[in-house]
Structure 1
Amino acid sequence: MFDLLILNGSVVDGTGSAPYTADIAIDGDRIVAISTDKMRPEDGREVLDAGGLFVVPGFIDNHAHVQTSIHERPLAENFIRQGITSIVASLHSGDQPYPLKPYLDSLEVAPNVGFFAGHTFARKQVLGLDNRAPTATELAKMQDIIAEGMKGGALGVSTGLVYVPASYAETAEVTALARVASCYGGIYVSHMRDEGAGVVQSVKEVIRVAQDARIPAQINHHKIMGAGQWGESTTTLALIDEARARGLDIKHDLYPYAASSTSSSVMFPDWALAGGAGSFAERIADPATRARIESEMMRILMVQRTGADLSRIQFRDVSGMPEYRGRTLSDLATERGLEGTPEDAIDLLIELQLNGGFTAIYHAMDEEDIVSIMQHPWAMFETDGDPVGLGEGFPHPRSYGSFPRVLGRYVREQGVIDIAEAIRRMTSLPADQIGATDRGRLRVGAFADITVFDPETITDRATYIEPHQYAVGVRHVVINGEPVLRDGSLTGAKPGRPLTGPARPVETSPEACVARIRP
């Protein structure tokens, strides 16, 4: 008797190989047999019928915002219903569990989850929101924080260089922390410093850190922001190829939407936000400083982000104005009796920031860049999503639909990439990236993380106007041998496990390595 049988499915094993018909047997948390000969249903304590369906390794989400909240939504339904079995909380900005190991040990959740040590977190602990370089002593303290994270199970170090206060860091500071992660067999994952006019230089910076710190590097949500930069993916992808040809391990990932989502801070020059809200208010109160801020904001608006069309900034959550969820900056301008000029936009953005800021969806990308990045052989996928409750707040639709959107829109409807290659980029490629080589493939001995879906119906349903809609087409999801989604219904099971480092083999004593690189 086997614990679980998955019968009559078309197997796409995650390696890029073509689909074939087979049955799969699971005992405990592992795959114990894959047979092209028919297995008997009576030989399984539980049986999942996959007739007419694809059976694939569980999808691995390369970046989602679950690092401090997964315990609050342990079933992770909006992720599970996409077929995601493992989530990489690559963090890159904001808070993180610290110390990490006790948090990992306490988790009882449905998906597997991996964590990173965050540059932003370390910098805040030592420098707060100061806009300056650390002293040698302060840099050593930051390195100690990263080392503790790595010893606690982190997969590597992550940066969010577009956000305050990480944006105040020079490349040398980032490299010094990446070297610590490298000592522990970690990888470097980055939300780049600039995804607009400076996107080419930002890709070069990621490559430079990888080279100088001797560490594999990954670009989170590779994108090209702002109409003035559309088409630059040709250059950024060429840079990745050139670096790989030199022997560097550079990969990247994306979500399949032409709009990003983040806080209002990205609409301001980072120096203007140094020191927090009080300091920002003081700068705005000074006419000369405000004039400088407005001038730099105009460039951000017109070149880096959405241009003169105020409807391209769509609010998710506005401090003190819940009625504006889903509405746009253009709507706000109209209700104020304004013409909706770029100058109006600047005034409104400053007002909103003074009142607590907002999160928004920024419609600022081009479909051709998305397709070009998606077709690159070293591109993986992510949601960049939030753990959401159905009907709560106003999320970006990627939180509900990223992986089904790739399979429905880009594989089935447009033929941008074929099904076997898309599955490889969702499974074995990201599994190998984090050193989880016993996941991401359907083979005997691998962990039984398995997604079963209908290739004819799988699609995303969430939209920018009505985001709270689950994806459809995923029938069964199994994690560590236990069904968490059966016949389209959650089982309530929480078999997920921490995905811990090292992501790469450690060749020497990590502690001795760190001692050699301390300032």
Structure 2
Amino acid sequence: MFDLLIINGKIIDGTSNPWFYGDIAVKDGKIIQVGFIKEKKAKRIIDVSGLFVCPGFIDIHSHSDLEPMANYRCESKVRQGVTTEVVGNCGDSAAPVFGQAYEDQKKATEEYELKLTWQIVAQYLDALQNSKPSINYAMLIGHGTIRKSVMGYDNRKPTADELEKMKELVKQAMEEGAFGISTGLLYPPGSFADVEEIIELCKVVAKYGGYYATHMRSEGDWLEQSVAETIEIGKQANISVQISHHKAFGKQNYGKVEKTLRMIEQARKNGIDVTCDVYPYTATSTSLASILPSWVHEGGKEKMLERLKNNEIRRKIAEQIDPVQRRISGYENLYISYVSSDKNKWCEGKSVQQIAHQLNKEPIDVVLDLIIEEKAHVGMIRFAMDEEDVKKVISSPYSMIGSDGSALAPYGILSKGHPHPRNYGTFPRVLARYVRELEVISLEEAIRKMTSFPAQRLGLSDRGLIKPNMAADIVVFDFDKVKDTATHEEPKRYPEGIEYVIVNGVITVEKGEHTDARVGKVLRKNSN
């Protein structure tokens, strides 16, 4: 007898082949049979007539490093149909943490009312598994975290000894189950690293079959140069490359993705495995402090805040970034997504222009004052992308879908702030807007970008497809009704039309509601 039998579904298997009618039998967390199943005997039978059935979505670019420990239900992701998240992106991971990285991570865990009980990757993955999350997790190691562990926030080349220590940390992390390494070359201390340093670390990762994911140095004025640098790293380190949240940022750069997508295609013709991910929105989201020039961050947060409080240095910073921000999107398109103090809570969800008007300040002073008052713990959302570019990247055969968000909830500790709607709506939005409404890609191709393609990038051989012997991560959705309901005005809203989400053979979302199941697994490379 089967544990679960899904009958009469329109099956999209994840390969991009056309859908077909069939049944899916599940036992012991695995898919046992697919197609017409004569023996309709199971502990639970679900008739999904009229609905589509596909593999669980794999969020290739996520930032839920601590969130599943704070709330095991992983609400905003699993309700989208996400059954696996990849954390440790943009150069920032929860492990390994030593020195300055340990101190930074300790503060981060305290913000979630957690205790830092790990230093190395193996310990972090054990802690994550012990939290019994509702979905699966895979991790990348952050280059910025590695660098902080060895060099702090020093803006210089590593010594031979320091580079060797970083390589040892990378080697150990890969042996303990990491799937690759990520960089955040816009953020300190990753922004202080040169190409040679990254290549050396990527060579270590390549020996274990891992891949290199990068938030590039520029997604705006220097976009093409950054793509070229990324491709060169892939070539020199002989490593597969993932360009994170590929976009052209700033009005003056709209249309550049046409050239960068051709660069990716040419690199592939030259034998370099380059792919990218994309989220279906025209607004970005990150720390407000990232607006500051790289040199301001040298030495760490306290040094940065000292510089901002020095009137002469502050004037220099303002002169450097004010014209850039006005050119990119203007302050009317720059919104505050979260603050940590009660004093400035009223700023959440408002544009810097609105705040400046209310306070009778210059917008640039609002930005710098908020960074000081919030001790850099302040987030922003910036509308600075073109919808036509988003459509071009989504339609590329080399792109997959990643939220660039976290597993949040509209209640409890994960409900803070005014987050980007991508945390709640990314995957249903692709299906509703870019498949059903705009017809940018086919339904089967969209599912491939969410399932088998990211599984291939990770090297997961047992997920991402509907076929026998695969892990039973499955989504059932109503294509006519599926849609994201999270907006920039009301971002904490679950999607509609995701009827069932099955994780490792257990129903975790039923008729759109969480069942409180918590059978997610921490995936370790080469041991799955």
Whether TM exceeds 0.5 here: the answer is yes
Q: Does 1:318 align with 2:339?
A: yes
The offset of 1:153, in angstroms, is: 0.2
Q: Does 1:197 align with 2:221?
A: yes
| Aligned mates of 2:3, 2:302 — CA distance in 1 | 60
1:395 aligned partner:
419
Pair 1:31–1:285, CA change in 2 (3 A): closer
| Aligned mates of 2:276, 2:64 — CA distance in 1 | 20
SS in 2 for 1:86: strand
1:161 aligned partner:
185
SS in 2 for 1:56: strand
2:525 aligned partner:
501
Counterpart selection for 1:70 from 65, 68, 71 = 68
Amino acid at match of 1:354: I
Q: Does 1:129 align with 2:149?
A: no
1:13 aligned partner:
13
| Aligned mates of 1:336, 1:302 — CA distance in 2 | 19
SS in 2 for 1:71: helix
| Aligned mates of 1:113, 1:278 — CA distance in 2 | 33
| Aligned mates of 1:444, 1:146 — CA distance in 2 | 35
2:438 aligned partner:
414
How do 1:346-495 residues align onto structure 2 when only pairs under 5 Å count? 346-355=364-373, 356-357=375-376, 358-391=378-411, 392-393=415-416, 394-495=418-519
| Aligned mates of 1:81, 1:167 — CA distance in 2 | 35
Q: Deviations over 1:207-261 (max 9, x none)?
A: 1110010000001111111001010001110110010000110010011000000
SS in 2 for 1:334: helix
Amino acid at match of 1:370: V
Amino acid at match of 1:77: E
| Aligned mates of 2:511, 2:46 — CA distance in 1 | 8
SS in 1 for 2:43: coil
SS in 2 for 1:45: strand
Q: Deviations over 1:108-153 (max 9, x none)?
A: 2111110011101111011111111111111111111111111110
The offset of 1:293, in angstroms, is: 1.7
| Aligned mates of 2:323, 2:87 — CA distance in 1 | 32
Amino acid at match of 2:523: L
Counterpart selection for 1:141 from 133, 149, 165 = 165
1:105 aligned partner:
126
The offset of 1:286, in angstroms, is: 4.8
| Aligned mates of 1:55, 1:229 — CA distance in 2 | 39
Amino acid at match of 1:411: V
Q: Deviations over 1:28-61 (max 9, x none)?
A: 121111123x5454x0111122111000011100
The offset of 1:288, in angstroms, is: 4.8
Amino acid at match of 2:352: L
How do 1:83-102 residues align onto structure 2 when only pairs under 5 Å count? 83-98=81-96, 99-102=120-123
Amino acid at match of 2:28: G
Amino acid at match of 1:400: Y
2:241 aligned partner:
217
Q: Deviations over 1:88-111 (max 9, x none)?
A: 114223341331123323412111
Pair 1:399–1:285, CA change in 2 (3 A): closer
| Aligned mates of 2:518, 2:214 — CA distance in 1 | 30
The offset of 1:503, in angstroms, is: 10
| Aligned mates of 2:146, 2:183 — CA distance in 1 | 10
Q: Does 1:330 align with 2:353?
A: yes
Q: Deviations over 1:466-504 (max 9, x none)?
A: 011101111111111111112222121122112222499
SS in 2 for 1:9: strand
| Aligned mates of 1:282, 1:493 — CA distance in 2 | 47
Q: Is the 8 A contact 2:67 2:74 kept in 1?
A: no
| Aligned mates of 2:88, 2:459 — CA distance in 1 | 15
2:112 aligned partner:
none
Normalized against structure 1, the TM-score is what? Answer: 0.92
1:262 aligned partner:
286
Counterpart selection for 1:188 from 205, 209, 212 = 212
Amino acid at match of 1:102: Q
Q: Deviations over 1:142-189 (max 9, x none)?
A: 111111111110001111111111111111111111111111111101
Normalized against structure 2, the TM-score is what? Answer: 0.91
Gaps of 5+ in 1: 339-343, 505-519
How do 1:230-245 residues align onto structure 2 when only pairs under 5 Å count? 230-245=254-269
Q: Is the 8 A contact 1:314 1:361 kept in 2?
A: yes
SS in 2 for 1:279: helix
Q: Deviations over 1:315-351 (max 9, x none)?
A: 111343112111110111111224xxxxx22222222
Q: Does 1:35 align with 2:35?
A: yes
| Aligned mates of 1:128, 1:441 — CA distance in 2 | 42
The offset of 1:378, in angstroms, is: 1.2
Q: Is the 8 A contact 1:185 1:501 kept in 2?
A: no
2:176 aligned partner:
152
| Aligned mates of 1:39, 1:487 — CA distance in 2 | 26
Aligned length: 494
Range that drifts further, 348-357 or 372-381:
348-357
2:23 aligned partner:
23
RMSD value, Cα: 1.7
Q: Deviations over 1:247-301 (max 9, x none)?
A: 1100100110000000012211010121234323443455553343222212431
SS in 2 for 1:103: helix
| Aligned mates of 1:496, 1:266 — CA distance in 2 | 33
How do 1:265-304 residues align onto structure 2 when only pairs under 5 Å count? 265-284=289-308, 286=310, 288-303=312-327
Q: Is the 8 A contact 1:13 1:56 kept in 2?
A: yes
Q: Is the 8 A contact 1:67 1:97 kept in 2?
A: no
| Aligned mates of 2:275, 2:305 — CA distance in 1 | 40
| Aligned mates of 1:346, 1:39 — CA distance in 2 | 68
SS in 2 for 1:46: strand
SS in 1 for 2:147: helix
2:49 aligned partner:
51
Gaps of 5+ in 2: 97-119
